[in-house]
Amino acid sequence: MKYIYDLHKVMLKQSLLLVYEGEFSQEITKAVLAMAERNMDSFGEQRKVKTKVFNVMVELLQNIFKHSQSYQEEIYGKNNAIFSLAKTDDYYFVLSGNPLFTSEVESLKNRLDAINLLDAAGLKEERRRIMKSNKSNIGKKGLSDKGGAGLGFLDMAKKSGNKIHFDFEQINDQLSFFSLRMTIDRNIESKSEK
């Protein structure tokens, strides 16, 4: 039982408001979003900040749900991902982690590095370019084979106003673990006054 208290202390020390680990579905995504919204409401968070956090969370959770792979249990165990929301005086941190095939790491790293090089105008232009190139696919199975236009990470960077922090840890020969952190400023009003 001491483990529960230890976990509670870790969550307090790391300013974790919400942690979920397990399989992701539409229902679980909705429940996680609702819990996060209630947490932010209980702090009396600014509407603009809540909107930014909520938008980033939606993109991140949809990304986990759409892109999580089914792995055979002997390769990794159960198909689990992790999501958490943390808060400090100045920031919210939206964090996630999920397994992916190691063969996908290099292309995803290159995509995230390219997004991190863009400023706000560049993010907007890249979004426009992707939408234009995918326009001919609208009405088909989806804009991509995963059901989106490949805009999730781009939108997270745009909506958060910050760079994407990420890392990959090799699990075994076939899988790696992808960790992602998005930062959202809580002091929107003071930033816009400067």
Taking residues 23-50, report their average pLDDT. Answer: 90
pTM of the model: 0.82
pLDDT recorded at residue 45: 93
Q: List domains and CATH numbers for the chain.
A: 2-112+161-193 (3.30.565.10)
pLDDT recorded at residue 64: 83
Taking residues 6-24, report their average pLDDT. Answer: 86
pLDDT of 10 over the 60 cut: yes
Nearest to 83 by CA among 151, 27, 159, 32: 32
Asked whether 29 and 61 are in contact (CB, 8 A), the reply is: yes
pLDDT recorded at residue 193: 41
pLDDT recorded at residue 180: 95
Calculate the dihedral angle through the C-alpha atoms of 122, 124, 130, 132, rounding to the nearest 10 degrees: -120
Between residues 188 and 191, the one the model is more confident about: 188
pLDDT recorded at residue 11: 83
Distance separating alpha carbons of residues 100 and 124, to the nearest angstrom: 28
- Kindly report, residue by residue over 69-99, the tens digit of the pLDDT: 555 555 565 667 899 999 999 999 999 998 8
| % of the chain exceeding 90 in pLDDT | 48
